[in-house]
Amino acid sequence: MASDRSSLAEKTITAATRRRVWGFARRWQGWILVFVMTTIAATLLGLVAPLVIREIFDSAIAEGDSSYLNFLFAVLLATAVGEALLALLARRFSSGIGEGLIYDLRLQLFDHVQRMPLAFFTRTQTGTLVSRLNNDVIGAQRAFTGTLGTVVSNVITLVATLFAMLLLEWRLTLLAVVILPVFVLPARRVGKGLQAITREGMNLNASMNNTMTERFNVAGALLVKLFGRHDDEAADFSDRAGRVRDIGIRSALYSQIFLIALTLVGAIGTALIYWLGGHLAIDGNLSAGTLVALGLYTVRIYLPLTSLSNARVDVMSAFVSFERVFEVLDSPNPITDRSDAHELRQPQGKVEFRGVRFAYPVADAMPESLEVAIKDSTAADNTPTDNTAANSTADDKKSLVEVLTGIDLTISAGQMVAVVGPSGSGKTTLVSLVPRLYDVTEGAVLVDGSDVRQLTQASLRAAIGTVTQDPHLFHDSVAANLRYAKPDATDEQLVEVCKAARIHDVLAALPDGYDTVVGERGYRLSGGEKQRLAIARMLLKSPTIVILDEATSHLDTDNEALVQEALTEALKGRTSLVVAHRLSTIVNADVIVVLDNGVITESGSHNQLRSAGGLYAELYEGLLKAEGTASSLT
């Protein structure tokens, strides 16, 4: 993160970023035009009050005309009310523009992130993403809900006021203008300093968000407790929070000193106007009413200048937020629907692997500020990245370590194929290519004769149901988690699939039945209960192709037998691709495929492979001994 902060601090806001921000605002051009016109009207109306006060001194009071004074009083009141109403209307338009634009930005950001390939999430800090979606979007929002109105209003006020002052007394106006560089030059210097501070604060806040996201979920909290790292975690968090505190103090002092200096300069300028104007009035070259009006206009010059100086800092901070949001939006997504992609209609379930080779690239195009601080050791941990080798250069391909090498496999519709092999042999990677969680490096994966890259992702994944070794459940009710597979499912359908997965009795016995909240990641349920609930969710989807990745690994012998019966019945007529170590799953498969170091070394039925005396026979004997030992211990 330190290198990321230093690199960000050296960046400047580019013209391309400014054009891109305006691109988001284009559809609000009509509202912006009305807002500007309303602001101009409010500003011009605000110029009336000093002129009316001038008339009060030079005409109504000087001539003793009380009726004229009453009329001018009414004009002052009407002007104040009209200016307030116009300011309220302008604020309505500016907030509408800002909120609408940020809605578009937030929606585009969320949609882009949740469509990114799985590789993106394996290398990205969750807390950083949440910070971009919340803190940085809100930071960008300030530019339009507050700063936009302030800048437009103050610019118009400044120009119109200077024009009115020139008409009244050009010498005093020039004196006021001479002081303007004192406002502008420090503003540029302060803006650059605060821009760097803002970036550093944003990165530290994102880092703290990521820490809280990881430590405050059940798994993270459990790990901290088991290792007794509470004091270390608190010390680390204290260090970062302390730096945020120090940055906040520096930013506040920097801004306040700057504001006090500008206010002092403005007060001196106003005093000069009254001093020189007073001498002109004593000499008879200027009326008292004109002097008072000029004094009021002078305040209307320096106040906008002070606001504009601060607004520049706000705009710079907002552009930093926009840059950080654009950084996420620009993260490439290599797994997208092609322009000529077609839907998978009435899927039959035939799956083919033709010369499939796959490797996780060492480097990717993800921004460093989003990436988890890990070593480039994809060969050891199979860590995926965003790039595929198909998009890599020749030098990149040399650095790739292949996980799968030359896979040729045909799975007929309705056939059950078990994939076995040593840990790290590529089993999960192989089945992940079917729903296109990753794209192959070479070769092709076909479903019903169509390359999965030529199919729309929505239609492909609608035909596939998956249950993983560690199924994810949302912090919601049992029913809501089930309906994630089929939002319009009836209560009767939920009960039916849960009975099939042998989980209904457990759910019915919960305090609120199917309305019971399962907790984050389903931690209120046991491992076996979570897997059976995930199986029920898969059955509710009623897919043509089923992928089971160690789906029965957490079940005890009794539960496994019940679920195996349910799966046997549920998988009839469906193509199933099963990664498993349990004997009951392996022996029932139509075809068993043995993977070793990313290569299919054996293929056949259970009896054929066991008789062959190869790797499968060795693995099977080991499983037989392990499960026999487990049975003797229960």
Digit-coded pLDDT (tens) for 135-144: 778 777 776 6
Q: Are 152 and 311 contacting, i.e. CB atoms less than 8 angstroms apart?
A: no
Per-chain mean pLDDT for the chain: 78
Report the CATH number at residue 111: 1.20.1560.10
Q: Is residue 494 part of a domain?
A: yes
User: Does residue 41 lie within any of the structural domains?
Assistant: yes
CA–CA separation, 275 and 269 (whole Å): 10
pLDDT for 553 equals 64
CA pair distance 408, 390, nearest whole angstrom:
19
What was the pLDDT predicted at 8? 35
User: Which segments within 373-463 are labelled E, that is strand?
Assistant: 401-411, 416-420, 442-447, 450-451
Q: Is residue 466 part of a domain?
A: no
Domain closes at, from 542, 559, 586: 542
- Note down the domain range covering 516: 474-542
Supply the pLDDT for residue 450: 94
Can you say whether the dihedral through the CA atoms of 493, 499, 504, 505 is positive or negative?
A: positive
Residue 165 is predicted with a pLDDT of 86
Read off the pLDDT band of 204 (50, 70, 90).
confident
Q: Which residues neighbour 284 within 8 Å (Cβ) at sequence distance 6 or greater?
A: none
The dihedrals phi and psi of 49, each to the nearest 5 degrees, come to: -55, -50
> Token pair of 232, please?
């270390």
Q: How many CB atoms lie within 10 A of CB 257?
A: 12
pTM of the predicted model as reported, rounded to 2 decimal places = 0.69
Name the token pair of 131.
């910070």
Lowest average pLDDT, out of 47-61, 230-244, 367-381, goes to 367-381
What total number of domains does the chain contain?
2
Quote the pLDDT of residue 219.
66
Boundary-marking domain end, from 329, 360, 386: 329
**Of the listed ranges 42-56, 167-181, 184-198, 602-616, the one predicted with least confidence:** 184-198
Q: What per-residue confidence (pLDDT) applies to 303?
A: 72
Calculate ∠ Cα 521-523-528, nearest 5°: 100
pLDDT at position 279: 85
Say whether pLDDT at 236 is over 70.
Answer: yes
State the pLDDT at residue 544.
93
**pLDDT value, residue 633:** 34
CA nearest 201: which of 372, 366, 324?
Answer: 324
Range name among 181-185, 237-241, 618-622 with the lowest pLDDT average: 181-185
Q: In which residue are the tokens 């004229």 written? A: 68
Does residue 121 sit within a domain? Answer: yes
pLDDT of residue 443: 95
> Comparing 502-506, 544-548, 551-555, which segment has the lowest mean pLDDT?
551-555
pLDDT tops 60 at residue 399: no
For residue 371, the model assigns a pLDDT of 62
Mean pLDDT across 365-392: 43
Residue 463 has pLDDT above 90, yes or no: yes
Q: What is the pLDDT of residues 561-604, one digit of tens each?
A: 766 776 776 677 889 999 877 676 788 889 999 999 899 999 99
Token pair 């730096």 is found at 243
- Length of the chain, please? 634
pLDDT digits (tens, 9 = 90+) for 400-450: 678 999 899 999 999 999 999 888 889 989 999 999 988 999 999 999 999
DSSP secondary structure of 76-140: HHHHHHHHHHHHHHHHHHHHHHHHHHHHHHHHHHHHHHHTS-HHHHHSB-HHHHHHIIIIIHHHH
pLDDT confidence bin for 385, thresholds 50/70/90:
very low
Alpha-carbon distance 21 to 141, whole Å?
11
Distance separating alpha carbons of residues 90 and 153, to the nearest angstrom: 9
Band the pLDDT of 369: cuts 50, 70, 90.
low
Long-range contacts of 426-431 (CB under 8 A, 24+ apart): 426/358, 426/595, 426/597, 426/598, 427/549, 427/579, 427/595, 428/549, 428/579, 429/358, 429/382, 429/403, 429/404, 430/353, 430/404, 430/595, 431/547, 431/549, 431/577, 431/579
Half-sphere exposure of 207 (CA within 13 A, CB side): 21
Q: pLDDT band for position 363 (50/70/90)?
A: very low
pLDDT one-digit tens code per residue, 248-302:
888 777 777 777 776 777 777 778 888 888 888 888 888 888 888 888 888 787 7
Q: Is 346 left (phi over 0), alpha (psi -120 to 50) or beta?
A: left
CATH code for the domain of 512: 3.40.50.300
Give the per-residue pLDDT at 186: 62
Evaluate if residue 188 carries a pLDDT over 70. no
Q: Please tell me the predicted confidence (pLDDT) of residue 177.
A: 77
Q: What is the pLDDT of residue 378?
A: 35
Token pair 């033709």 is found at: 354
* Segment 512-552, tens digit of pLDDT: 899 988 877 777 887 778 888 888 998 898 899 999 887 76
Residue 382 has pLDDT above 60, yes or no: no
Domain end among 527, 542, 557:
542
In the chain, the percentage of residues whose pLDDT exceeds 90 is: 18
Q: Is residue 181 part of a domain?
A: yes
What is the C-alpha separation between 375 and 354, in angstroms, rounded? Answer: 32
pLDDT at residue 192 tops 80: no
- On the question of pLDDT at 390 being above 70, the answer is no
pLDDT tens, residue by residue, 323-357: 788 888 888 888 889 999 999 999 999 999 999 99
556 belongs to a structural domain: no
Could you tell me the pLDDT band of residue 555, with boundaries at 50, 70 and 90?
low
Position 408 scores a pLDDT of: 95
CA dist 70 and 63 (Å) reads 14
* Pairing verdict, β 401-411 and 351-360: antiparallel
pLDDT of 609 above 70: yes
Q: Residue 365: its pLDDT value, please?
A: 53
CB atoms closer than 10 angstroms to residue 432:
19
Which residue type sits at 408?
D
Is residue 341 one of the residues assigned to a domain? no
User: Does 171 reside within a domain?
Assistant: yes
- The winner for highest mean pLDDT among 50-54, 226-230, 376-380 is 50-54
